[in-house]
Amino acid sequence: MDRGLLHGEGVFETLHLRPSGPWLLDEHLDRLERSAALLEIPLPPRSDLAELAFQGARAWPGDEGALRLIVTAGPPPVVYATVGPIPGSVLRERREGIRLITADRGIQTPPPWSLVTAKSLSYAENLAAKRWAIRQGADDLLWLTPDGHALEAPTANLVWLTGTTLCTVPPDGILAGTTAAYLLEHAADLGLTADIRKITATDLPAADGIWLASSLRGLAEVHTLDGTKRAASEWTPRLLALLGFS
Amino acid sequence: MDRGLLHGEGVFETLHLRPSGPWLLDEHLDRLERSAALLEIPLPPRSDLAELAFQGARAWPGDEGALRLIVTAGPPPVVYATVGPIPGSVLRERREGIRLITADRGIQTPPPWSLVTAKSLSYAENLAAKRWAIRQGADDLLWLTPDGHALEAPTANLVWLTGTTLCTVPPDGILAGTTAAYLLEHAADLGLTADIRKITATDLPAADGIWLASSLRGLAEVHTLDGTKRAASEWTPRLLALLGFS
């Protein structure tokens, strides 16, 4: 029995499988390394993890799929890879957008042992938060600091547009997003500028477009924020195309 | 592959195995039910879990041992039971006591989706906190609220003696402890009274005895608190005997 698995002691990455292979593999392996360092889990050689990802991609017959790479703490560390379809709820959120609510996460400054900047297998509270949001009549929630600044969603990052500036929040007290980073790096391809800045829940409704970004969803446009309906952004299809979703 | 295990989505209990069987089985099954309700995990019949615990106890050849009962979210839920020896570090802490430091957990009031009152498999941050304490030159840490009130240790509860009153903290924002509850329920056997009350880190050093209580340790006396050495309490052997450790 894998002792790490029984304590949620492991790190993982979820990658979008495309006909071209596992998307943003290098960026995901970079983040896996940062997560593993925080949990003090020794990783196998990077080339082995990359080869495993390619094997997973070759094993998947569909147009798009989900690859999970997992390394548990053990000891000894154990590597797992799973491949499967994109969940229907994820495809629907990408296509139709979401109702998002904001909620205080209750943590102003994470303590020094905090793992909020790591993608760990201790994911039960993230999933519980999402279930709570659904009980409130929403699809997802955006965590805030007690003083009202946006952090992240339990399984996605916040991206918004102000005029022609595409923004996300600084990577403090959150898991830095690979999809959000890609969008900002390539914003110029669409004639947009990019910026990393803080935003409060009070200022967020004035944004010209709000999305949650994650590897499988790509983007889910926020069509309803804290119960208030928003106009659809003309940028949603362009940003999805920039991510390779069309 | 058990999907629940890959997300730290499960609940567990650790029980002390004695020649008489798994100790405080009913209390542990009660807590497992409360944890499972919080994580929305359906449990198998209680009699099946009890029978599994007895089977585990019969399979263990030693004088004392550790039994873990685990139920993952799945779906479908999967039940695991493991038996093994008491870790050497636990036996040493019971025998020799510990150096404890206090540290702000950063959470004044847990959010409504919080799982801090459940014993879930998402245990990585508990273990990271303990590693952090060891890097600070301690054996364990006591989490505090931002306003300085004692909560719990990552894998144990706080118990202290003030005069002839044995105390623990209210079960708010912590995992209520089975061992601490047993001690308070049976305090009268030693001529002590029992009380559930809050205490600040400022007031704690004045206690006449301080312990961490957990199922495998029983009790570990705090012989050093935030770097200050404390006199050994004459109550430690009596309280350990009350728990059946001698």
By CB atoms closer than 10 A (0-12, 13-18, 19+), residue A162 is middle
Query: How far is Cα A187 from Cα A184, in angstroms, rounded to an integer?
Result: 5
Q: State residue B74's pLDDT score.
A: 86
Q: State residue B134's pLDDT score.
A: 97
Q: State residue A230's pLDDT score.
A: 98
A-B CB pairs within 8 A amount to 116
CB atoms inside a 10 Å sphere around CB B13: 24
- Closest CA relative to residue B118, chosen from B238, B31, B246: B31
Q: State residue B45's pLDDT score.
A: 96
Å between A35 CA and nearest CA of chain B: 12
Average per-residue pLDDT in chain B?
Answer: 96
- Under the banding of pLDDT at 50, 70 and 90, the label for residue B3 is confident
Nearest 5°: the CA angle B201, B202, B206 is 100
End-to-end CA distance of chain A: 43
Where is A141: in which H helix or E strand? strand A140-144
Half-sphere exposure (Cβ direction) of A76: Cα atoms closer than 13 Å: 3
Residue B25 DSSP SS3: helix
Q: The tokens 């920039």 sit on which residue?
A: A242
Taking CB atoms and an 8 Å cutoff, what residues of chain B touch A124? 7-10, 39, 115, 120-122
Instruction: Give the closest of A8, A40, A107 to B131, CB-based.
Output: A40
Architecture in CATH for domain B5-86: 2-Layer Sandwich (3.30)
Å between A193 CA and nearest CA of chain B: 35
- Closest CA relative to residue A103, chosen from A126, A129, A69: A129
**Residue B191: is its pLDDT beyond 80?**
yes
**Comma-separated ranges of CATH 3.30.470.10 domains in chain B:** 5-86
- Under the banding of pLDDT at 50, 70 and 90, the label for residue A179 is very high
**Comma-separated ranges of CATH 3.20.10.10 domains in chain A:** 89-242
Inter-chain CB proximity B125 and A115 less than 8 Å: yes
Strand partners, B16: B66
**Residue A233: is its pLDDT beyond 90?**
yes
Q: State residue B62's pLDDT score.
A: 84
Å between A113 CA and nearest CA of chain B: 5
**Residue B94: is its pLDDT beyond 80?**
yes
Q: State residue B75's pLDDT score.
A: 86
Q: State residue A137's pLDDT score.
A: 98
**Residue B61: is its pLDDT beyond 90?**
no
Cis peptide before A110 (omega within 30 of 0): no
Taking CB atoms and an 8 Å cutoff, what residues of chain B touch A38? 128
Indicate which of A113, A114, A132 best probes the interface with B, i.e. most B CBs within 10 Å of its own CB.
A113
How many residues in total does chain B contain? 246
A178: Cβ contacts below 8 Å, ≥ 6 apart: A24, A27, A28, A31, A215
Q: State residue A191's pLDDT score.
A: 98
End-to-end CA distance of chain B: 43
Q: The tokens 């999805």 sit on which residue?
A: A240
Inter-chain CB proximity A109 and B106 less than 8 Å: yes
Cα torsion angle, B240, B12, B54, A74, sign: negative
Query: How far is Cα A236 from Cα A124, in angstroms, rounded to an integer?
Result: 30
pLDDT, tens digit (0-9, with 9 covering 90-100), for A34-86: 999 999 999 999 999 999 999 999 989 888 999 999 999 988 899 999 999 99
What dihedral angle (degrees, nearest 10) is formed by the CA atoms of B112, B72, B126, B142?
A: 70
Indicate which of B121, B131, B135, B141 best probes the interface with A, i.e. most A CBs within 10 Å of its own CB.
B121
Which of the residue ranges A2-11, A114-123, A222-231, B106-115 would you say has the lowest mean pLDDT? A2-11
**Residue B246: is its pLDDT beyond 80?**
no
Q: Hey, what long-range contacts does B134-137 have (CB within 8 A, 24 or more apart)? A: B136/B101, B137/B99
pLDDT, tens digit (0-9, with 9 covering 90-100), for A141-155: 999 999 999 999 999
Task: Name the residue of chain B whose CA is nearest to A68's CA.
Answer: B6
Architecture in CATH for domain B89-242: Alpha-Beta Barrel (3.20)
Å between A104 CA and nearest CA of chain B: 7
- Under the banding of pLDDT at 50, 70 and 90, the label for residue B122 is very high
Inter-chain CB proximity A9 and B124 less than 8 Å: yes
Taking CB atoms and an 8 Å cutoff, what residues of chain B touch A131? 40, 113
Query: How far is Cα B43 from Cα B166, in angstroms, rounded to an integer?
Result: 34
Inter-chain CB proximity B121 and A8 less than 8 Å: yes
Inter-chain CB proximity A82 and B1 less than 8 Å: yes
pLDDT, tens digit (0-9, with 9 covering 90-100), for A73-100: 988 899 999 999 999 999 999 999 999 9
Q: State residue A244's pLDDT score.
A: 95
Q: What percent of chain B has pLDDT over 70?
A: 100
The first and second tokens of residue A11, run together, are 């790190």
**Residue B165: is its pLDDT beyond 80?**
yes
**Residue A133: is its pLDDT beyond 90?**
yes
Contact B144, B201 (CB under 8 A): yes
